[in-house]
Amino acid sequence: MTPQPLNGGYGYGHTPETPLMMNRPLNVADNATYEHRQQPHIGGEQGPPTTVMRTISDRPHERFFLMDGSIEFRVHDVLFKVHLHFFSRAKVFRILGPYLPPVIDLNGFGLKPSEFELLLTIFYPKTFGTFEIQDVEGWASVLKVASALGLDNIRTLAIEKLLEISSPVDIIMLAETVSFIDSQMLVLAFKELCMRPEPLTEEEGRKLGTESLNKLARMKHELQHNTAQYLDSDKVDRMLCRLVET
C-alpha cells in the first residue's frame, strides 16, 4: 500500500471496509430501451451508433441467440441474435437509414416474440429441408411478421402454405386479419359452407365469430327460400329427362 499524506506527514489510512450491499431493486424507467449514442460527423451529420445500453429485463432467446450471429433483434424484452444475410433484402432496413444499429428494436411493429421465433424456424430448421410449422395459426404468424418487415419471399411462401392447408372457415377467419384473401376466395369459402350437408362444428363456429356466422345464416336462408331463383333451368330439365327415361 502506498503511504498517503496524513496531518502534514505520511502514513497509512484505515483499510477500506467492504461496501455495504443494499437489498433493493434497481430503478429502471418503464420506457427504458436501447440508447444509441452517435458521434457527430463534420457538417453536423450523425455517424453510426457506437455504444448500446440494454435494459435490466432483456434476456436472450433460448434457441435463437447464436454466438456467431451478426445482428440482434429485440422483441418485447427478448433478444434474438442471428445472421444478417437472411434479412439483407428486408424493406424495414430502409427505415433505419444508412447505419444499422447493433440492436434493432422491433417493438414498434406490434410483433410477439413467439411470432418472430416462428419466422426464424424457417431460416434455422431443426431438420434440413423441412418446415416445423404445420398449422394455419403458425403460417399466419409468419405472414404477419414477413409483411411487417418487408420480407417479400417469405410472405409469398406463407401465403402458399396457408392456401394449401386452410379450410373454408380458415379462409374466412384469415380475411379479417390479412390482406392477401381477395373477394373471390372469400365467396368460394362461403359457397362451400352453404352447400355442404354437414352443419358447422362448435370449433368452426368459434373461429367464424358472430359477424361471419350471421352472414352465413343469411346466405343459407336466401338459398333455401328462393331455391328456384338460383337453379339452372336447363340442368333441371336434363336431370328430369334422364330420370323419366330410366
Q: What is the spatial distance between Cα 187 and Cα 57, in angstroms, rounded to a whole number?
A: 47
The mean pLDDT value for 62-74 works out to: 93
Q: What is the pLDDT of residue 5?
A: 52
The mean pLDDT value for 129-144 works out to: 93
How far is Cα of residue 187 from the mean position of the Cα atoms in its chain? 27
- What are the pLDDT digits (tens) for 218-238? 999 998 888 888 888 888 888
Grid cell in block for residue 213: 356466422
Between residues 221 and 177, the one the model is more confident about: 221
Contact 190, 219 (CB under 8 A): yes
Residue 10 has pLDDT above 60, yes or no: no
Query: Which residues are CB-neighbours of 1 under 8 A, at least 6 positions away?
Result: 12
- Report if pTM > 0.95: no
Give the count of beta carbons closer than 10 Å to the beta carbon of residue 27. 7
Between residues 206 and 91, the one the model is more confident about: 206
Residue 87 has pLDDT above 60, yes or no: yes
Residue 20 has pLDDT above 90, yes or no: no
Average pLDDT of the chain to the nearest whole number: 79
